[in-house]
């Protein structure tokens, strides 16, 4: 019997639906699936309030862990043939619960010398968050063998509006009846079943060496070259903001709250003013940069980690 552990943190249930579809065609007689939902001792309630949403920024970006509930004994008692790690992206980084787990003692036991497939569901930018996850997995001596990224396919500015409607309203519905539904589409969630068969084959054979190539052939990852540059620049700017806000104290400090208000307005300005300008520059420089873009797309679609 092959043992598969699915580890995840999902506020809305969207990610769990995706993971259930990915594992739907695993051989029930040969593969046993164990679920572990990461649970912070002080959870992040959904829907968000605006204050809590922006307050999560410094700790998210700086990857500061929070305390988690310990996994059940039966989760820790097994040696797994594969771990599937499902995560959200918060502020261009793995969410606080996922980051906290990957820095925990249970993760050192569960993931050491174990094949891992990462599954991310987010609005659109996951490139640098995945690089951070790769580094955390490397530190755990885990073996990243596959990656699947499902995103909101709508135009950037439209998805900003709809994701805020979902995050602060709590319902994955069409805003005012005219905007598209936020998040990963129902079609893409259902379509995640296509990843089940190649993963199941690798579990059965114990050979994951060509799994990512098989997953790429059926659309596991679609790297947007414009978002690579945006993600990298965003990380540079966020590092300055996170450092500045962290120096103002913890979340109950008035100074910190004032700076978070400034960060909120900067973020809106960046989305609605700076991002379109960056996109125009990207279009102008696309042809001269096409060689670099191809190399970037190949790397960020892979499970490799550059030496840093």
Per-residue confidence (pLDDT) for residue 115, from 0 to 100: 99
Q: Is 159 part of a structural domain of the chain?
A: no
Backbone torsions φ then ψ of 215, nearest 5 degrees: -65, -40
| Domain termination residue (choose one: 170, 204, 222) | 222
* Same-domain check for residues 206 and 265: no
| Domain termination residue (choose one: 205, 222, 239) | 222
Q: Are 11 and 40 in contact (CB under 8 A)?
A: no
Per-residue confidence (pLDDT) for residue 139, from 0 to 100: 98
Q: Is 187 part of a structural domain of the chain?
A: yes
Position 145 pLDDT exceeds 60: yes
* Same-domain check for residues 218 and 269: no
* Same-domain check for residues 149 and 242: no
* Same-domain check for residues 34 and 82: yes
Per-residue confidence (pLDDT) for residue 253, from 0 to 100: 86
Distance of CA 135 to the CA centre of its chain: 14
* Same-domain check for residues 260 and 187: no
Q: Is 34 part of a structural domain of the chain?
A: yes
Q: Is 163 part of a structural domain of the chain?
A: no
pLDDT band, residue 278 (cuts 50/70/90) = confident
115-122 vs 143-151, strand pairing mode: parallel
Name the percent of the chain lying above pLDDT 70: 100
pLDDT band, residue 187 (cuts 50/70/90) = very high
pLDDT-wise least confident of 56-70, 141-155, 240-254: 240-254
* Same-domain check for residues 236 and 217: no
Domain count, the chain: 2
Rounded to the nearest integer, the mean pLDDT of the chain is 96
Long-range contacts, stretch 250-253, CB < 8 angstroms, 24+ apart: 251/55
* Same-domain check for residues 73 and 204: yes
Position 307 pLDDT exceeds 90: no
pTM: 0.95
Q: Rounded to whole angstroms, how far apart are CA atoms 277 and 183?
A: 25
pLDDT band, residue 195 (cuts 50/70/90) = very high
Position 250 pLDDT exceeds 90: no
Per-residue confidence (pLDDT) for residue 308, from 0 to 100: 55
- DSSP state letter for 69: P
Q: Is 257 part of a structural domain of the chain?
A: yes
Segment 205-212 mean pLDDT: 98
Q: Is 54 part of a structural domain of the chain?
A: yes
Per-residue confidence (pLDDT) for residue 59, from 0 to 100: 97
User: Is the peptide bond between 110 and the residue preceding it cis, with omega within 30 degrees of 0?
Assistant: no
Tens digits of per-residue pLDDT, 89-114? 999 999 999 999 999 999 999 999 99
Smallest CA-to-CA distance from 158 within 141, 146, 175 is with 175
* Same-domain check for residues 87 and 129: yes
Q: Rounded to whole angstroms, how far apart are CA atoms 93 and 63?
A: 7
Per-residue confidence (pLDDT) for residue 103, from 0 to 100: 99
Q: Six-digit token pair at 18? A: 């995706």
* Same-domain check for residues 6 and 47: yes
Q: Is 305 part of a structural domain of the chain?
A: no
Host domain of residue 246: 228-295
Per-residue confidence (pLDDT) for residue 251, from 0 to 100: 80
| Domain termination residue (choose one: 171, 191, 222) | 222
Per-residue confidence (pLDDT) for residue 66, from 0 to 100: 97
Helix (H, G, I), strand (E, B) or coil at 259: helix
* Same-domain check for residues 75 and 143: yes
Q: How far is CA 149 from CA 28, 126, 130, 152, 177, in A?
A: 25, 8, 10, 10, 28
* Same-domain check for residues 142 and 186: yes
Q: Is 167 part of a structural domain of the chain?
A: no
pLDDT band, residue 157 (cuts 50/70/90) = confident
* Same-domain check for residues 111 and 193: yes
Q: Rounded to whole angstroms, how far apart are CA atoms 96 and 295?
A: 30
Q: How far is CA 104 from CA 50, 93, 95, 108, in A?
A: 29, 17, 14, 7
SS3 content of the chain, % helix, strand, coil (to 5): 55, 15, 35
Position 261 pLDDT exceeds 90: yes
Domain CATH number, residue 74: 3.40.50.360
């Amino acid at each position: 019997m092959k043992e598969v552990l699915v580890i995840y943190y999902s506020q809305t249930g969207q990610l769990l639906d995706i993971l259930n579809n990915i594992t739907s065609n695993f051989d029930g007689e040969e593969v046993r699936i164990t679920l572990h939902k990461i649970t912070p001792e002080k959870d992040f309630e959904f829907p968000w309030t605006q204050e809590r949403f922006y307050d999560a920024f410094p700790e998210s970006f700086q990857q500061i862990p929070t305390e988690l509930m310990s996994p059940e004994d039966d989760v820790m008692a097994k040696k797994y043939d594969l771990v599937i790690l499902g995560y959200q992206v918060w502020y261009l980084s793995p969410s606080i619960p996922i980051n906290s787990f990957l820095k925990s003692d249970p993760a050192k036991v569960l993931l050491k010398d174990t094949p891992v497939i990462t599954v991310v569901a987010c609005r659109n930018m996951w490139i640098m968050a995945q690089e951070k996850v790769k580094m955390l997995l490397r530190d755990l001596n885990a073996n990243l063998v596959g990656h699947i990224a499902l995103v909101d396919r709508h135009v950037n500015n439209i998805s900003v509006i709809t994701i805020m409607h979902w995050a602060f309203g709590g319902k994955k519905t069409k805003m005012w009846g005219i905007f598209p539904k936020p998040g990963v589409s129902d079609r893409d969630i259902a379509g995640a079943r296509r990843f089940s068969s190649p993963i199941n084959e690798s579990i059965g054979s114990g050979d994951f060496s060509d799994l990512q190539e098989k997953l790429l052939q059926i659309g596991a990852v679609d790297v947007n070259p414009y978002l690579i540059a945006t993600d990298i620049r965003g990380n540079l700017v966020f590092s300055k903001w996170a450092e500045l806000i962290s120096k103002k104290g913890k979340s109950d400090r008035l100074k910190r709250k004032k700076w978070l208000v400034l960060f909120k307005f900067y973020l809106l300005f960046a989305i609605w003013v700076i991002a379109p300008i960056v996109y125009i520059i990207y279009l102008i420089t696309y042809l001269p940069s096409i060689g670099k873009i191809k190399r970037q797309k190949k790397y960020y679609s892979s499970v490799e980690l550059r030496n840093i």
